[in-house]
Structure 1
Amino acid sequence: MKKLIAAISLGLCTAAYAEGPVTVPYDGSFEDAAFAVESAIVDQGLVVDYVSHVGEMLVRTGADVGSDKTLFKEADIFIFCSAVVSRKVMEADPMNIAHCPYGIFVAENADGVMVGYRTYPEGPMQLVQDLLARIVAEAVEE
C-alpha cells in the first residue's frame, strides 16, 4: 500500500510540473540578456549566489557522452535565493526547502535568445513563481 501511495504521489508531483518552464523571448544578444537578468535580480535586493554555465558544460562534455548535437549556442542559469520569500514558503511547509535555491536561465538556440524559469506547484510556492516572473519581466523590458 505504501508503494501505491508513493507512486500516486509521484504521479501527482510530475503532473504539477508537466507544464514545463516559462520562457520569454529576448530581443537582443545573449550577453545583453544575461546582464539584464543579473541586474534585475540585484534590483530586487537579491544576490546571485552562482552562475551555472550549462551551455559550456554541454559543449565540453558532448564527445565524452557520445553526442555531437548542439543544444544551445550559450546557456547560463543564475542561482539565487530570497530570505523573505523562502521564509514565507517554508513556514507554510518546511518541505518547500526542496525548491530552494531558485534559478532563472538565459539560453540561445537556433530560435534566438530566451529567458525563463521553472514552474512551481500551486499554493505557497506561487510566491516564488511570482518573484521569478517579476524579475524576468524587468529583464526583458530593459
Structure 2
Amino acid sequence: MHRLKLSLLALILGAPAALAQDATTYPFEGSFDDAAFAVESAIIGKGLVIDYRSHVGDMLNRTGADVGSAVTVFDSADVFLFCSAVLSRKVMEADPLNIAHCPYGIFITDQNGQVAIGFRHLPEGPMQEVQALLDDIAREAVGE
C-alpha cells in the first residue's frame, strides 16, 4: 500500500511537468516582431486566414499587479488563431467533437531575449493532420 501511495504521489507531482510539455517549440533566430511576421506570412502563405491575434504577453504584463504578482512570464507573447475549412471539415466529419480544437493556434514567445515559435499537441487520430499543418507552419516560420 505504501508503494502505491508513493506511485500516486509521483504521478501527481509529475503531472504539471508532463502537461507543460504538451507543446512543440522551435527557437527563432531574430526579434519577436520578426517572428510574428514570419508566422503571419507562413499562415497566409498556406492560403489560410488569421481570425485573431491574441496578445497574451501584454495581458499578463498588464494584469500582474491586479492579481498580486510581480513576475514577468514573457517579455512578449502572442497567439495567432486561424482555421482551415478543408481540414476542419475533414476532422469534424470524422468526429464532431473535434470542434474543441478549433481554431488552431501558433504561439510566439519572448523570454529574456529567447524567441520561440510553437503549437500545442493535438490528440491522436484525425487531428494529427492538423498537427502536421501546425508543425509545417512553425518550421517554415523558423526557416527550416
Structure-1-length-normalised TM-score: 0.86
1:23 aligned residue? 25
Matches within 5 A, 1:1-142: 18=19, 19-110=21-112, 112-141=114-143
Q: How far has the Cα of 1:49 moved from its partner?
A: 0.5
Q: CA offset at residue 110 of structure 1?
A: 2.3
State the one-letter code of the partner of 2:117.
V
CA distance in 2, matches of 1:22, 1:138: 14
Inter-partner Cα distance in structure 2 for 1:82 and 1:115: 20
SS at match of 2:81: strand
Which stretches in structure 1 are left out of the alignment for 5+ residues? 1-13
- Aligned-residue CA RMSD (Å): 1.5
> What secondary structure sits across from 2:69 in the alignment?
coil
d(CA) in 1 for partners of 2:85, 2:50: 13
| CA distance, structure 1, for counterparts of residue 122 and residue 60 of structure 2 | 26
SS in 1 for 2:87: helix
Unaligned residue ranges in structure 2 (runs of 5+):
1-14
Offset from partner CA, 1:21-76 (integer Å, 9 cap, x none): 10000000000000000000000000111000000000110000000000101000
Whole-angstrom distance in 2 between the partners of 1:60 and 1:66: 12
Q: Which entry has the higher C-alpha Rg, 1 or 2?
A: 2
Counterpart CA distance in 1 for 2:139 and 2:116 is 12
CA distance in 1, matches of 2:26, 2:129: 19
What is the TM-score of this pair, normalised by structure 2?
A: 0.85
Distance in 1 (CA, whole Å) between partners of 2:131 and 2:140 is: 14
